[in-house]
Structure 1
């Protein structure tokens, strides 16, 4: 379905779904972001605001969303990091489901509390923000290692097979725009090397566990009450150091990256020990994430953001990969 047609249906679904929660009758919904999910700002006269997330079909099961909310609850209750709250529907369930004519299947939905605050400035010196990201990542990782998860616990996996396997979560990077034969040949070698290094690195629980997987500055909101970490939609099982790689999504070629990595590591080590062997593999995770993003652009090319990112992305990924290979040979 063309994106514009899909968004028209989702707008109607969002408007219809408001009755599932105890929100003001005169509330309106406005699309503010579309990626894996469609996200809407819900507003009403008198100052009411909340955030409605309509889940993409066939991306998460109900149980997976329940597990996401369980981790949000645990992180907040144990004061690991301030997380966004959510509303229960009129039936007492935080996860609602609704359908509308024009869409083949019903969609899962969650209504989150509106989180006031501003994201750190990404146009200037980002070192302070990345140091704070490192602190928050380390706190979340420590919590993941000791938290008794509800069973069955179901979330996405961000490992080599999820990126390069037979059924990759975001598609095959080879299908992305501008993957020429030259780019493909270069990235085939990068993929082989990533596979080899991470097979040796292993999945010990102090390295591989539950992670946020999208811990960018855009997902931090700061106000007088502190810093909130938002958007846990991609949280799942992966390597802890992948959280740094995700933090620099789409800017992996920036000259700031070495300084941002140093700041992130400083913050991280202020909370949790990090062996040199783990630090040494961070660049491998940067390349794993970069190739996952290349695949994401290809599988989401109907949306405005991937369309804007696509020109030159494959060639830059190949160049970054060749530079990385030179450092690990």
Structure 2
């Protein structure tokens, strides 16, 4: 069982009344950015998610459900939200001097793909090909989809990655940097902005993406592959989607084969040119840089960023040459 404080547990119990599940059993399953609980109702099992404060507005969360509904219509296996008794997608409750948005999803049985891959490395190629096909299906839907009026999600564009109001924070200006490090990351910021500004940002290559489609966000079940955690989803380059899939595996033996399998699976359903593949190192670097910004803004995950800074400096220097 994941550790959870009494206040969050009480908030979860209060929220369940909005789905007429006040007496259901709650089991914490993940307490990090969001707090997640397994809910054992009288007839069904669910997931209750208490969303982190300040990350998404209610309109952005409602838009996420609009998009996942469209993805389901396109044949993708994605989270199914449960409406409240008042037919709302979320309930908003006061908590700790602010408020928290809370949603309920249908439970899906299975095992995380990432855990299977950790246990059985021989399955890497087949699983990367499978994620490639899923990523292509997502992009096929989003590139052709007419975004409805009022739809709100963030953008992973030049401004979103390296602008003055970067979505995950100013990695180039965090307090832990010394002058030399600040200079390197400032140069990297400018070089990334210049490179991104040259990329095609039409719907053919830039549309809604999951943005966190690594193997630990894919559930392998009896009915197939189920995608979870659309919390980071927004408008972005398709290259970034694929870079995130591969990111944590870059230093493993056989990485080139993993990347080839992912691209092979993707190309079964959607074009991705050799020139597109050459852009992946740019998005690997971006992932490293934005992770540094993300960590700096979340001291609850630790304040010693020495390793993250060293990695960012090394990768930035290698990429810039």
Check whether TM > 0.5: yes
Report the secondary structure of 1:111's partner residue. Answer: strand
Cα deviation, residue 47, structure 1 = 6.8
Matched with 2:40 is: 43
Q: Is the 8 A contact 1:297 1:309 kept in 2?
A: no
Residues 1:259 and 1:323: Cα distance change in structure 2 (over 3 Å):
farther
Give the number of equivalent residue pairs: 314
Aligned counterparts of 1:308 and 1:266: Cα–Cα separation in 2: 40
Aligned counterparts of 2:167 and 2:131: Cα–Cα separation in 1: 25
Residues 1:67 and 1:122: Cα distance change in structure 2 (over 3 Å):
same
Q: How does 1:90-129 map to 2 (within 5 A)?
A: 90-100=85-95, 103-120=96-113, 121-123=116-118, 124-125=121-122, 126-129=124-127
TM-score (norm 1): 0.87
Matched, 1:74 2:70: yes
Cα deviation, residue 312, structure 1 = 1.1
Q: Is the 8 A contact 1:216 1:248 kept in 2?
A: yes
Unpaired stretches in structure 2, ≥5 consecutive residues = none
Residues 1:177 and 1:310: Cα distance change in structure 2 (over 3 Å):
farther
Residues 1:127 and 1:190: Cα distance change in structure 2 (over 3 Å):
farther
Matched with 1:320 is: 315
Out of 58, 81, 84, the residue aligned to residue 86 of structure 1 is: 81
Out of 280, 283, 300, the residue aligned to residue 282 of structure 1 is: 280
Matched with 2:16 is: 18
Report the secondary structure of 2:102's partner residue. Answer: strand
Cα deviation, residue 189, structure 1 = 2.6
Residues 1:28 and 1:250: Cα distance change in structure 2 (over 3 Å):
same
Matched with 2:26 is: 29
Aligned counterparts of 2:193 and 2:252: Cα–Cα separation in 1: 25
Aligned counterparts of 2:304 and 2:237: Cα–Cα separation in 1: 26
Cα deviation, residue 64, structure 1 = 1.1
Cα deviation, residue 255, structure 1 = 4.5
Matched with 1:221 is: 219
Aligned counterparts of 2:265 and 2:180: Cα–Cα separation in 1: 39
Residues 1:30 and 1:235: Cα distance change in structure 2 (over 3 Å):
same
Q: Which moved more, 1:174-183 or 1:259-268?
A: 174-183
Out of 158, 164, 167, the residue aligned to residue 166 of structure 1 is: 164
Cα deviation, residue 240, structure 1 = 0.7
Matched with 2:235 is: 237
Residues 1:122 and 1:191: Cα distance change in structure 2 (over 3 Å):
farther
Q: How does 1:178-217 map to 2 (within 5 A)?
A: 179-217=177-215
Aligned counterparts of 1:255 and 1:310: Cα–Cα separation in 2: 26
Unpaired stretches in structure 1, ≥5 consecutive residues = none
Report the secondary structure of 1:153's partner residue. Answer: coil
Residues 1:139 and 1:308: Cα distance change in structure 2 (over 3 Å):
farther
Aligned counterparts of 1:309 and 1:207: Cα–Cα separation in 2: 37
Aligned counterparts of 1:32 and 1:296: Cα–Cα separation in 2: 23
Report the secondary structure of 1:302's partner residue. Answer: helix
Report the secondary structure of 1:82's partner residue. Answer: coil
Q: How does 1:145-164 map to 2 (within 5 A)?
A: 145-164=143-162
Aligned counterparts of 1:137 and 1:97: Cα–Cα separation in 2: 32
Report the secondary structure of 1:51's partner residue. Answer: strand
Report the secondary structure of 2:38's partner residue. Answer: strand
Aligned counterparts of 2:178 and 2:264: Cα–Cα separation in 1: 39
Cα deviation, residue 217, structure 1 = 0.4
Aligned counterparts of 1:8 and 1:177: Cα–Cα separation in 2: 33
Report the secondary structure of 1:201's partner residue. Answer: coil
Matched with 2:268 is: 270
TM-score (norm 2): 0.89
Residues 1:95 and 1:165: Cα distance change in structure 2 (over 3 Å):
same
Cα deviation, residue 163, structure 1 = 2.4
Cα deviation, residue 251, structure 1 = 4.9
